[in-house]
Amino acid sequence: MEIILNLITVICICAASGFRIFVPYLILSISGKIGILIPPGDSLWIYSDIALYIFIILAVLEITGYFTPWIDNMLDLISTPLALISGTVLGLMFLADFSPALRAVTAFIIGGGAAVNIQFLTVKSRSLSSVFPEGNGNTIVSFTELISSVLTTVLVIISPPVSFAFLILIVILLFRNIIFRDKKAKTANQISY
């Protein structure tokens, strides 16, 4: 049962970094600083002062960039490969009890995979929301992604199963949004011909 809970934790925290790469690191660093979270395995580096300052700067830059129309789409080009790296690093942190080889493979497949898949969903959702004038649809998507990242990370610290249920709900809503906007775009294209 502990392994399943550990894997759920990895999926959720890595998926949170698929929404926003640096927000989960910042929240984990803060939670370690105030004593809410005991550092998993060999991840004491995330709780250092320098790491906290770096995560604050990177999170603010990332959040600001995603709320700036057209820059957010350019950030997706950088964020997609970074999500794989971020998910893998977070997976390595939270799979400290695994043997080294199993830890690396599992972190890459589950951690990196969760982050990249969420990132792909958000990229698709953003591309479909770009049809709104002035890129306003992207602001809504960016806000939703930020809230999803924060809530998924906070919930995984409090209760991994609750975080997992929340993550499933968000993924379902993302899929519904993508399907709805895709159908709407196809209908608009057919009418314009």
**Residue 81 token pair:** 């490969």
Phi, psi of 108 (to 5 degrees): -70, -50
Q: What is the pLDDT of residues 61-114, one digit of tens each?
A: 999 998 887 787 788 889 999 999 999 999 999 998 889 999 999 999 999 999
pLDDT tens track for 37-48: 876 767 888 889
CA angle 97, 102, 104 (to 5 degrees): 95
pTM to 2 decimal places: 0.88
